[in-house]
Amino acid sequence: MAAIIASRYAVEYPNITKELCGQTVSWLQQQRTEAVAKFAEQGFPTLHDEDWRYTNVSAIEKKLFTSALKIPTSQIDRNWLKSYQLKDAWSVVLIDGHFSSELSELGGLPEKVFVKSMANALETHPELLENYVNKAVNDNEHGFIAFNTAWFTDGLFVHVGAKQCLAKPIQVLHIVTQQDVLIATRTVIVLEQMAEAKIIETFVGMDGAYLSSTVSEVFVGQNADLTLYKTQFESEKAYHFSGSYVKQEQDARFTHHNYAFGGLLARSDIHTDLGQASECELNGLYLGIKRQHIDSHTRINHLKPHGISRELYKGVLDDRAKGVFQARVIVAEDAQKTDSQMNNRNLLLSSDAEADSKPQLEIYADDVKCGHGVTVGQLDDKSIFYLQSRCVDEETARNILTFAFANEMVDKIKIKELHDIVLEQVLSRFPQEGVNKEWL
């Protein structure tokens, strides 16, 4: 079945090639040709793939999503857009997978920092990009990677020069306005040695079904520090795949905060390779209601000695929602003195909700400190009783405890504007009775 559907996309591919960026870049055209062939051969991942055993994407395969056309910016509701756009940040806006210079705000960037659309960067810096595209990940990883390599229409290239420290974050808004379309973008982020930056990826869609696919390749140089936020508020009928694939050099620090609230079916990959004495922190919160399916897949490769990694993901699932957490920490033979901790905690608010958790440790070194923990359960009856004994009714007690469970992850956001947006999204998805926003 997958091969048949994949071939439908492959048949349509020649009709969209003129819409894709980098037409004159020979190395990219070669990569696209190979990616189309790879995708036609393997299709989208299936339940037979170990890393996808809990996530069935056959619904995507049943529909041929077509590439989104550019629309005039005059059709964009500016007030709606501003509700997600941070005021104190450089802003990049991608409308249906296409960069919008009118809506983006990039004035005042430091001299050794440039932020360009992928289409523009392929024209101005093709030789530089050749060093990064498909270098943090390759098309053999799974079908969505090959699909993205072949189909991406635009994206972003961020290059922060050595010793540059950005005074404010860069926000990348992926906005979807059309139905039954395919949105595919590619992002490359490079921090040279001793650079520091904060980047926020925000995914928002209007009502309707569509397929959103984005791949980010991230390179954190020696002693550089990158904090990457991902907030996903897609349409409740949308299909979403995103992957962030990271290479960390010696003493590099990488922090990722992942907030997955939207989409009918959503999958997020975060994979990172740690160099010597580099540090990695992965935090995540996924909220599922109705029939949502939210899948979080992480992989931390400790390749060199003295690496440190911390991971904490929390899920709150109601109705018939399903949450998936698959995490793998690999400690190579040479990675002595590794210190790694992984935890996943799930709160089920309904007897029909489901949480599938699969933590894995692969340790090939003998001088390490590694551990993991998983919990799946409902609200603690003793805690509910305690609040009731303090004159709080049962429903309010449940709401307070649910919010407190999720809010630990929201409080990890140190950017005030972003914190408030995510908090509002959390409160909109679960009952608010008993939770006074003025206290937060």
Segment 364-378, tens digit of pLDDT: 999 999 999 999 988
Q: What is the percent of the chain where pLDDT is above 90?
A: 78
**Who has greater pLDDT, 53 or 389?**
53
- Rounded Cα distance between 224 and 136, Å, is 17
| Stretch among 13-17, 123-127, 170-174, 311-315 having the lowest mean pLDDT | 13-17
Map tokens 């050794």 to a residue. Answer: 112
What is residue 192's predicted lDDT score, i.e. its pLDDT?
Answer: 98
Closest CA to 231 of 163, 164, 288, 174: 174
What is residue 413's predicted lDDT score, i.e. its pLDDT?
Answer: 97
- b/e map of 22-54 (b: 16 or more CB within 10 Å)? beebeebeebbeebbebbbebbbbbeeeebbeb
What is residue 13's predicted lDDT score, i.e. its pLDDT?
Answer: 85
pLDDT beyond 90 at 15: no
Q: Under a CB-based contact definition with an 8 Å cutoff, are residues 310 and 281 in contact?
A: yes
Q: Under a CB-based contact definition with an 8 Å cutoff, are residues 274 and 301 in contact?
A: yes
Confidence of residue 429 (pLDDT cuts 50, 70, 90): confident
- Rounded Cα distance between 287 and 206, Å, is 19
Kind of pairing, strands 211-220 and 265-274? unpaired
**Who has greater pLDDT, 188 or 15?**
188
Cβ within 8 Å of residue 87, ≥6 positions away = 417
- Give, rounded to a whole angstrom, the gap between the first and last alpha carbons of the chain: 50
Q: Against a cut of 0.85, is the pTM above it?
A: yes
Digit-coded pLDDT (tens) for 131-174: 999 999 988 899 999 999 999 999 999 999 999 999 999 999 99
What is residue 433's predicted lDDT score, i.e. its pLDDT?
Answer: 57
**Who has greater pLDDT, 259 or 427?**
259
- Rounded Cα distance between 161 and 289, Å, is 42
Mean pLDDT for 304-322 is 97
| Stretch among 7-16, 283-292, 310-319, 321-330 having the lowest mean pLDDT | 7-16
Integer CA distances (angstroms), 240 to 95, 184, 256, 304, 365, in order: 16, 10, 18, 33, 37
Mean pLDDT for 338-362 is 95
What is residue 160's predicted lDDT score, i.e. its pLDDT?
Answer: 98
pLDDT beyond 80 at 390: no
pLDDT beyond 60 at 1: no
pLDDT beyond 90 at 250: yes
What is residue 73's predicted lDDT score, i.e. its pLDDT?
Answer: 85
Kind of pairing, strands 90-95 and 98-99? antiparallel
Say whether 176 sits in a helix, a strand or coil.
strand
Confidence of residue 238 (pLDDT cuts 50, 70, 90): very high
Mean pLDDT for 193-201 is 98
Closest CA to 101 of 116, 86, 83: 116
Confidence of residue 5 (pLDDT cuts 50, 70, 90): very low
Closest CA to 376 of 404, 343, 339, 401: 343
pLDDT beyond 80 at 281: yes
- b/e map of 288-312 (b: 16 or more CB within 10 Å)? bbeebbbbbbbbbbbbbbbbbbbbb
